[in-house]
Structure 1
Amino acid sequence: MAAPGAPEPQLGRYRVGDVIGVGSFATVHRAVDERLDDVVVVKVLAENHSLNPEIRERFIAEGRALRRVASPHVVAVHDIGESDRQQPYLVLEHADRGTLAARVATLRADGWAATPADVLAVARGLAAAVEAVHAARLVHRDLSPGNVLLRTSPEGVVEGAGGADAAGTSAVVRPDERLVVADLGMSKDLARSSGLTVAGGTEGFRPPEQDAPGTVDTRADLWAMSALLTWLVEGADLPRALDAALRRSLAGSPARRHPDAAAWLADVERALSPGTTPSPDRTRRPTAVVAAVTAAVLGLGAGAGFTAWLDRPRAAAGSASVAISGPATAIVGEPVTLTADVAGTEHWVWTLPTGAYVTDDDTVRLTASSPGDAEVVLEARAPDGTALTTVHPLQVDAGS
């Protein structure tokens, strides 16, 4: 910001004002487009980094990536330029209502906890943004509360997120606001590469495949979306089906996550539909699980078509663990019962071969319609936050 009485610095036709954000590589200013008489944001690459060709090109690539994405839920880039000191800058849409991180912090200071309307408002805007990013053959790679912004919507314009619906009115994305995703500085262009990328992302919202150099695809963003909603709903009394929906895309293996943002949103909306049961406040006891396992074994009977009854290896962290007990084989048309052997955690999620999920049930009952190989996954989270996963393979035979 200029000293009192001094003219504000100028970048082309943009009169640069207050600093509203400082990152590792760039500084973000509020500015005025003097030609259009409009408030914008100018993001300027730091002078020392402007001399690094790799960082310089990555900064410019962010502007090009934003230009490719057509969505009211992704920050628009208006212009790109270079200062007299050879610092490239981007001119971006101004999100005048701040970040999602700041909004939630303010609400929590007043004792707020997320409602279904809050979750849906964020999820719908986020899914719309991510769908547009993926349609442009990009992976965002850094979805976090600080990179999700809020801006005023034009009067009378329906943005598809925020406002009121059957779930009520959101305090997070208000009726006159639009959620927008920013900062594609780490985005990966899938059309120009194999997906190999360097490590990166915001701690706590970074999928496991981004912890080190490796391959990423669009499912990395789905993990971050679920992590972001998990952060949003902390301390809230919401249906346990929501936890199951979010856990699916928090799977360590991308193959077990939702296939795309639309499927992710459909699960979230289904979990929050009217009549869904809130999460119970209860503690699981290993003795109750053992009793359920015993009942399931006694109920099998002879000639059920099983060739083995297996106790699968546990996935454990400290005193918490998950395992699946059940048959390794089954026959088409004959039911199979699998049992959760869970200790030290309150909630768990089954993922069935159909892609459906079941939360907190001690047993699941499956009937195969065709022969082949399948797997059932049981996931939970230890009290220290460690993800626990076990996979139970099933070989399905046609029978006689």
Structure 2
Amino acid sequence: MSTGGDGATREATIGRYRLGEVIGVGSFATVHRALDERLDDVVVVKVLAENHSLNPEIRERFIAEGRALRKVRSPHVVTVHDIGESTRQQPFLVLEHADRGTLTDRVKALRQQGWVASSADVLSLARPLAGALEAVHEAQLVHRDLSPTNVLLTTDETAEAGSVPSAELVRPDERVVVADLGMCKDLALNSGLTVAGGTAGFRPPEMDGGPSVIDIRADLWSLSSLFDWLVEGADLPHALHDALARSLAPDPQDRHPDARAWLTEVEQALAPPEHVGDGEGGPVGRHTGSGAGASSRRWLPLLLAAALLLGLGGGWLLGRTTDPPAATQSSRVEIEGPDEVTVGESASFTLRHLGVNSWVWVLPTGQHVADQESVTLSPTGTGRSQVSVLSRDTDGTELRTTHRFTVTE
């Protein structure tokens, strides 16, 4: 085996793998398409550059990438098949081959044809990427370098359930996989202080230098940044931009708590109201007032957990036997509105409150509306439905009031 001045490997084989074309060259490694001669299968071999193989810190970080990937169990994170070392002591990783290229290349090609992202495109990518990050985070890892070049597309002949057939970005016969965890930070290790890394434009502010604790919310910043780049020029609901902006907050504490919460808000922002149920088998409706899906930074950290646990019924799953009260000694919330509404008729519901400064409406559509004095709904089906408001009193006690109504023909 011989190497050039840039450390790129130029031998025909490494171990049992016959190297093919170079498909990527980075600061530390060269990536080859290769043939596993034993299994007669196409793989990717990532070889640490020879000049870096003598650096113990870089060498260990490279090997740690393979170990980290082995911890993650997700169809949307690239699989590690093997870890080895060449005859010249260059560590290498054998990875799953993604034959459809990178997200960067796909978006570039589509934009040359005049494409802009649709809701279907966003969902076709948001769901697998959120699933990938959830798996990475469950393995106590932070990716730290989520960018379009590290998102790959590969053929999936089984076509996953839940794929979005109308999407041009990720096709029904494709699977999204996240690669390159070389910068990942193991949360189980010591302090979590940052080191330099990440990709410009997709690197969260806490990674720009200086001592700063890095946790999973760094990946959520990169995730929102990636989608902010993806939807450039697209005519999509304002609520989507609100959802993305939340995890682009400079302070990690103002971001979504995890990838699942991020995805939930993105899906709610893009869901057509007429296709979203009220959670009780009743009618669905359309919110025609202002602020649907709005993301108010003042109330979300306080009320998101309440909305998930109370507004969606999770409180009972956790053992809650009674609803939060509508009033305490210092505060009160009450909804005024009709008890009966006709299909297609607009109905207004108004909050009467005392001693609270912030609240969130939970609508029959599943949407959340922040700090609006009233909301207007247009039901599209008959049955029983409800609208709720969640808040807290001055002592932090949870408040909830619900107005139930009947929708008739």
| TM > 0.5 fold call | yes
Contact 1:129/1:181 (<8 A) preserved: yes
Aligned pairs for 1:155-304 within 5 A: 155=157, 157-160=158-161, 162-164=163-165, 169-212=166-209, 213-275=211-273
Q: CA distance change for structure 1 residues 82 and 367 in 2, over 3 Å: closer, same or farther?
A: closer
Taking structure 2 as the reference length, the TM-score comes to: 0.68
Is 1:94 matched up with 2:97?
yes
Gap change, CA 1:373 and 1:252, over 3 Å in 2: farther
Q: Quick one: distance in 2 between partners of 1:8 and 1:49?
A: 18
Counting only pairs closer than 5 Å after superposition, residues 290-369 of structure 1 correspond to structure 2 as: 331-333=331-333, 334-335=353-354, 368-369=391-392
Distance in 2 between residues matched to 1:190 and 1:65, nearest whole Å: 11
Partner deviation per Cα, 1:145-202 (whole Å, 9 max, x = no partner): 000000000x2x24356442xxxx1111101000000000000000123322213211
Q: Distance in 2 between matches of 1:131 and 1:215?
A: 19
Equivalent residues in 2 for 1:21-100, closer than 5 Å: 21-100=24-103
Query: Over residues 203-241 of structure 1, what are the superposed CA-to-partner deviations in whole Å (9 max), with x where a residue is unaligned?
Result: 111111111142111111111111111111100001111
Taking a change above 3 Å as real, the CA distance of residues 93 and 352 of structure 1, as seen in their structure-2 partners, is same
TM-aligned CA distance change 1:357 to 1:247, over 3 Å: farther
Name the count of aligned residue pairs.
299
Cα separation, 1, equivalents of 2:187 and 2:390: 39
| Maintained 8 Å contact 2:361/2:368 | no
SS for the counterpart of 2:39 is coil
Describe the superposition over 1:39-90 as per-residue Cα deviations: whole angstroms up to 9, x where unpaired. 0000000011001000000000000000000111000000011111111000
Q: 1:145 and 2:148 equivalent?
A: yes
CA contact (8 A) 1:41 1:93 kept: yes
Q: CA deviation at 1:370?
A: 2.2
Query: Is the Cα contact below 8 Å between 2:356 and 2:394 reproduced in 1?
Result: no
102 and 141 in structure 1: CA distance in 2 versus 1, 3 angstrom threshold: same
CA contact (8 A) 1:43 1:90 kept: yes
Higher strand residue share = 1
Asked if the contact 2:359–2:391 (Cα under 8 Å) also holds between the matched residues in 1, the reply is no
Letter in 1 for 2:205: P
**Residues 161 and 178 of structure 1 are in contact (CA less than 8 Å); yes or no, is this contact kept in structure 2?**
no
Selected match of 1:111 from 103, 106, 114: 114
1: distance between equivalents of 2:231 and 2:161? 21
Structure-1 separation of matches of 2:208 and 2:143:
15
Distance change >3 Å, CA 207–CA 351, structure 1 → 2: farther
Matched, 1:9 2:6: no
Map of 1:296 onto structure 2? none
For each residue in 1:292-345, what CA deviation from the matched residue of structure 2 results, as whole angstroms up to 9, or x when unmatched? xxxxxxxxxxxxxxxxxxxxxxxxxxxxxxxxxxxxxx955435798xxxxxxx
Residues 124 and 160, structure 1, Cα contact 8 Å, conserved in 2: no
Structure 2 gaps, min length 5: 3-9, 275-285, 287-329, 334-352, 375-388, 400-409
Does residue 370 (structure 1) correspond to residue 393 (structure 2)? The answer is yes
Task: Judge conservation of contact 2:144–2:184 (CA < 8 Å) in 1.
Answer: yes
Secondary structure of the residue that 1:243 maps to in structure 2? helix
- Check whether the contact 1:99–1:147 (CA below 8 A) recurs between aligned residues: yes
| Alignment root-mean-square deviation, CA | 2.9
Gaps of 5+ in 1: 278-329, 339-349, 375-395
Cα 1:81/1:113, change in 2 over 3 Å? same
C-alpha deviation, 1:248, in angstroms? 1.1
Secondary structure at the aligned position of 2:135 is classed as helix
Q: Assess, with a 3 A threshold, how the Cα gap between structure 1 residues 357 and 250 changes in structure 2: closer, same or farther.
A: farther
Matches of 1:148 and 1:160, distance apart in 2: 20
User: Would the aligned equivalents of 1:161 and 1:179 in 2 still touch at CA under 8 Å?
Assistant: no
SS at match of 1:248: helix
Q: Is the 8 A contact 2:361 2:369 kept in 1?
A: no
Q: Give the Cα separation in 2 of the matches to 1:59 and 1:367.
A: 48
Secondary structure, in 3 states, of the residue corresponding to 2:246?
helix
- Contact kept, 8 Å, 1:162 with 1:178, in 2: the verdict is no
When the two structures are superposed, what TM-score results if normalisation uses the length of structure 1? 0.69
- Cα distance in 2 for partners of 1:23, 1:353 equals 49
Q: Evaluate the alpha carbon distance shift between residue 364 and residue 103 of structure 1 in structure 2; reply closer, same or farther with a 3 A threshold.
A: farther
CA contact (8 A) 1:163 1:176 kept: no
